[in-house]
Amino acid sequence: MALPVKNRLRVLRAERDWSQSDLAVRLGVSRQTVNAVETGKYDPSLPLAFRIAREFSLRIEEIFDPEDSPALITNHLEVQK
């Protein structure tokens, strides 16, 4: 089951006045990747998510948030058990 994930990347980037290209260079990825992650078309891998968190000095869960979530995550974890 795929969890839809939303993120605050665009807001965080705007707060720092970084363009997508700036962030892309900082992360070592293409601008297209930053755009795809921002718009939710692509969910980053765990290493990239950590790089993003590190770049913004935040925790991953402060940037990425599964939609509808606490209940959904709990259910998902219970199914995993």
Partner 1 sequence: MIVADTSLSSSPRASGLGCARMQRGEIVAVGAFVVTCAAAAAVRKLYGVEALRWCLPAVVLSGVLYLRTISRIVSRLDELQQRIWLEAVGFGALGIFLTGIIYPMFEKSGVLGPLQPLGMSALLVVFVIAGYLQARWRFR
Does residue number 6 form part of the binding site for partner 1 (CB under 8 A)?
no
Distance CA 2, CA 23 (A): 26
Give the β-pairing of 64-66 and 5-7: antiparallel
The site map against partner 1 for 32-51 (x = CB under 8 A) is: xx-xx----xx-xx--x-xx
Find the shortest distance in angstroms from Cβ 55 to partner 1. 6
Find the shortest distance in angstroms from Cβ 51 to partner 1. 7
- Tell me whether residue 28 or residue 70 sits nearer to partner 1 (CB atom): 28
SS3 5: strand
Find the shortest distance in angstroms from Cβ 66 to partner 1. 17
End-to-end CA distance of the chain: 14
Residues at the contact surface with partner 1, assessed by CB under 8 A: 22, 24-33, 35-36, 41-42, 44-45, 48, 50-51, 53-60
